[in-house]
Structure 1
Amino acid sequence: MSARRPDIVFPSWDPAREIEIDPGSPEPLYFQVSRQLHAAIEDGRLPAGARLGNEVDLAASLRLSRPTVRQAIQSLVNQGLLVRRRGVGTQVVRTRVARPLRLSSLFDDLAGLGGTPGSVVLINRLEPAGADTAELLEAPGLGHVRRLKRIRSVDGEPLAVMNNYLPDGIIDPDDDELRDKGLYQLLRSAGVRLHAAEQNIGARQATEEDAELLDEQPGAALLTMRRTTYDDTGRVVEHGWHVYRASRYTFNLSLTNGPQ
């Protein structure tokens, strides 16, 4: 059995020196701790990958009870700023990717946000189109579909598992193209004029397969998305169903006032 990796606190950040507790404040003690931890993560004193000391040591250094420290840490876990990993401890995660809802591919959005997107191609093949697939693509009698499955990453960290069906003949990408470009970029390059999409967003827990592909724990929270995309003639050009790590990913929606 391998030895357990020690907890690491970055030497520039000492909780006993950095966190100030005011017992007389109306602000709850756990919130004082979580607020100051949050600030240290935001300004880079606790960078991505930093591991906090265990709860017992943190409680002792701050002269607080262990339940208080646990509640402070859990509030940041719930916000996606910290993650608990077996054998590693509590670790600072990267800032979430906040993606606007628009007709664009995840690859394009990640590049636009300044990240370095990457892909691992798991499936890229033609296969017979069953009745259910033909219905999704709104193409009765369709013979074959292009089936794609990829792991999308940003800066080397897995972010999403992407699944897509495309009617045969829309595009015929090789694996290198799928690694280097987004699906919508490939469609536009092939002369497809994207016009509109219908999209549903939900959530579920990670399966064993999800956990392995996304470096998460089984049962972790995942965001889900299904999207059907149409060109300017009303033809369905792709149907996708994807899962995203909820700890690293959010959707942004813009809301406007309706008729009064």
Structure 2
Amino acid sequence: MTKLNLKIDHKSPIPLHVQAENLLRQLIESADYQDGKLLPNEVDLAKRLAISRATLRQAINKLVFEELLERKRGVGTKVVKKRFSSRSNNWLSFTQEMAARGIPVKNFELHISWEIPNEGLVSFFGIDPDQKILKLERVRGRVEGPFVYFVSYFHPRIGLTGDEDFKRPLYDILETDHHTVADLSKEEISAMVADKFLANKLDTQVGAAILFRKRYVFDQADRPLEFNLGYYKADSFVYTVESRRQAARPLS
């Protein structure tokens, strides 16, 4: 096992599963565990951290959900090989993105429902598996036609009722009506092709190129707020990341 100091502070007010998650993140980033190396087995790791396997599994589940770890039956849990990614120090809501580009937005569909969360959402939000959460589905685009299908899930802590006017900018609703500020966004972007369901939603052909974006949104206390899936027609949308290179430190 890596020489990192893996230790849980049992007197800390920080929940044990959160501490375990943070320690696992350190393991993932360490040189010893890059490129798909297996983690220590759960029994040994839980014993070393002096926590239950259920607590450890809660932390692992969240990192599996974020696709930082993967489980293989009969093999164990291993670190996912790193994919190329880009981080931006600033991010915008869809409405802000479109306003910045001078594109008027039209809502083609808007559906609200309450659902029992799957295991991944339970792990991300840290909620009871029997607690229903609000699901918001929107098909949006230009006046000429749709080009993005959004699916959002929200933490019950926010207090959304489903009666909100979701034609308003989403994060304005959260901040103005529910005093919840979306502060941090972590995103993953990949490519896929449209199945029959997506082709119907986006008025395109089955097999058409789709830009797929996962967005994990956190509040100012780094608590999970929203999990968002975005499916964009690749021929109608370009995703731009702007980053400023930090100046190199002078050699000593």
Scaled by the length of structure 1, the TM-score of the pair is 0.55
**Equivalent residue for 2:172?**
185
- In 1: Cα distance, 2:157 partner to 2:128 partner: 16
Structure 1 unaligned spans of 5+? 1-99
Residue identity in the other structure for 2:214 = R
Residue identity in the other structure for 2:170 = L
Structure 2 unaligned spans of 5+? 1-87
Residue 101 of structure 1: how far off its partner (Å): 8.1
Is the contact between residue 118 and residue 129 of structure 2 (CA under 8 Å) also seen in structure 1? no
Is the contact between residue 89 and residue 243 of structure 2 (CA under 8 Å) also seen in structure 1? no
Residue 218 of structure 1: how far off its partner (Å): 0.8
State percent identity of aligned pairs: 20
- In 2: Cα distance, 1:220 partner to 1:144 partner: 34
Is the contact between residue 129 and residue 143 of structure 1 (CA under 8 Å) also seen in structure 2? yes
Residue 186 of structure 1: how far off its partner (Å): 1.4
Residue 228 of structure 1: how far off its partner (Å): 0.7
Residue 122 of structure 1: how far off its partner (Å): 4.4
**Equivalent residue for 1:157?**
145
Which string of whole-angstrom CA distances, capped at 9 and with x for unpartnered residues, describes residues 75-121 of structure 1?
A: xxxxxxxxxxxxxxxxxxxxxxxxx9843221222133222212234
Residue 172 in structure 1 maps to residue 161 in structure 2: yes
Is the contact between residue 228 and residue 236 of structure 1 (CA under 8 Å) also seen in structure 2? yes
Q: Secondary structure at the match of 1:199?
A: strand
- In 1: Cα distance, 2:209 partner to 2:89 partner: 20
Which string of whole-angstrom CA distances, capped at 9 and with x for unpartnered residues, describes residues 114-153 of structure 1?
A: 2221223443022223332211324355712111111011
Residue 119 in structure 1 maps to residue 107 in structure 2: yes
Moved over 6 A (4+): none
Q: Secondary structure at the match of 2:198?
A: helix
Is the contact between residue 194 and residue 209 of structure 2 (CA under 8 Å) also seen in structure 1? yes
1:133 to 106, 112, 121: 121
Distance 1:101 1:240, change over 3 A: farther
Structural RMSD (CA):
2.3
Quick check: 114-123 or 212-221, which moved more? 114-123
**Equivalent residue for 2:92?**
104
- In 1: Cα distance, 2:229 partner to 2:194 partner: 15
Is the contact between residue 137 and residue 149 of structure 2 (CA under 8 Å) also seen in structure 1? yes
Aligned residues: 159
Is the contact between residue 107 and residue 141 of structure 2 (CA under 8 Å) also seen in structure 1? yes
- In 1: Cα distance, 2:146 partner to 2:239 partner: 17
Residue 219 in structure 1 maps to residue 207 in structure 2: yes
Residue identity in the other structure for 2:169 = G
